[in-house]
């Protein structure tokens, strides 16, 4: 509520809620109070739908497999995966105790987003290779994706008991602990992940998110910068820009939004973020231009539209007053 009352644009608060989640169930009274300080209908909808401690999948997990398709891959790719799965299942019938067959099948199932089945196959590998930290890491990921966060934490901890220096598993454990609401535990694991591997950009980014959630903006900004220095992408740049804006460094925020737009000119979040920072700096014309671009790129985003309409109305009122009308 403080972000809205403090002048942070509705679209940015809505995006923050969608990406990071909220740690409580919003009551009707809370929603009424939120609307009273300027929340748009789009922001209220985002709060109602938010999942507790949600974390964006774009930057959270480390695994030794390609990103899953979850059924959204091109038809040719899905056909290839399905054919590979069929071949691996045939091999499983012939060699049911061969861990390499189970690993290959788990790999394909994970790509297809079949996390329950992938977990079962990784577990089969573990039964014959209990000290394989990579398989335990992947089993933990499959369990978490299938909803068994406690099981994932157990597997990550067992992997780290075998290899305490496995940075990627520390990062994955941090994500699982964050989902359980253990903020201190998550911060500790993300911190250990970057200590073991300072080039782990995902761990730097995840640590930044947690520090921002703790309202340690300086710490968050430092971690986001560290992540960008070792390969962090667009999401990290947007997080850095937002953290700078929340701290009151509008020039820094504007520079980061511009930097994002040089590589991702069609990202409505970057245009809307730049608009919000320009508005707070007093450049209403520039802000309106950026909101208009953002609306054209994301016409379905009600929060961006609400911020544009609010600012357009305020700008029109200001112009009438200055002209004496």
List, as one string, the DSSP characters of 176-238. HHHHTT-HHHHHHHHHHHHHH-TT-HHHHHHHHHHHHHTT-HHHHHHHHHHHHHTT--HHHHH
Phi first, then psi: what are they for 215, rounded to 5°? 70, 20
- Are residues 273 and 12 in contact, defined by beta-carbon separation less than 8 angstroms? yes
CB atoms within 10 A of CB 257: 28
Judge if pTM exceeds 0.85: no
Structure tokens at 188: 């500790």
Structure tokens at 180: 């359980």
- Are residues 28 and 292 in contact, defined by beta-carbon separation less than 8 angstroms? no
Give the pLDDT of the chain (325 residues) as one tens digit per residue: 445 555 555 655 665 565 455 545 566 666 777 777 777 766 676 676 553 333 333 334 555 443 333 344 556 665 666 666 666 666 666 576 677 778 888 888 888 889 999 999 999 999 988 999 999 999 999 999 999 999 999 999 999 999 999 999 999 999 999 999 999 999 999 999 999 999 999 999 999 999 999 999 999 999 999 999 999 999 999 999 999 999 999 999 999 999 999 999 999 999 999 999 999 999 999 999 999 999 999 999 999 999 999 999 988 877 777 666 5
- Nearest in space to 134 (alpha carbons), one of 177, 87, 175, 167: 167
């Amino acid at each position: 509520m403080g972000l809205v009352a403090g002048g942070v644009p509705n679209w940015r608060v809505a995006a923050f809620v969608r990406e990071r989640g909220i740690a409580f169930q919003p009551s009707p009274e809370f929603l009424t109070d939120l609307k009273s300080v300027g929340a748009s209908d789009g922001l209220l909808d985002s709060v109602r739908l938010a999942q507790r401690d949600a974390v964006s999948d774009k930057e959270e997990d480390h695994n030794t497999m390609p990103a899953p398709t979850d059924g959204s891959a091109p038809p040719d790719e899905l056909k290839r995966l399905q054919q590979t799965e069929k071949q691996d299942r045939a091999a499983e019938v012939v060699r049911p105790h061969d861990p390499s067959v189970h690993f290959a099948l788990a790999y394909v199932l994970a790509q297809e987003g079949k996390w329950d089945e992938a977990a079962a196959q990784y577990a089969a590998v573990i039964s014959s290779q209990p000290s394989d930290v990579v398989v335990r890491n992947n089993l933990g990921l499959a369990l978490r994706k299938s909803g068994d966060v406690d099981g994932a934490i157990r597997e990550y901890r067992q992997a780290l008991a075998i290899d305490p220096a496995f940075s990627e598993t520390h990062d994955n454990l941090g994500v699982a602990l964050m989902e359980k609401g253990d903020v201190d535990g998550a911060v500790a694991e993300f911190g250990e992940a970057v200590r073991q591997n300072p080039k782990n950009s995902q761990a730097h980014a995840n640590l930044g998110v947690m520090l921002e959630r703790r309202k340690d903006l300086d710490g968050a900004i430092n971690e986001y910068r560290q992540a960008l220095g070792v390969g962090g992408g667009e999401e990290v740049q947007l997080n850095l820009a937002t953290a700078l804006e929340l701290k009151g460094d509008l020039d820094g925020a504007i520079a980061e939004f511009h930097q994002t737009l040089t590589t991702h000119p069609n990202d409505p979040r970057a245009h809307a973020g730049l608009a919000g920072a320009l508005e707070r700096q007093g450049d209403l014309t520039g802000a309106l231009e950026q909101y208009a671009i953002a609306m054209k790129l994301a016409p379905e985003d009600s929060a961006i539209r609400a911020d544009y309409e609010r600012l357009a109305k305020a700008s029109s009122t200001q112009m009438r007053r200055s002209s004496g009308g």
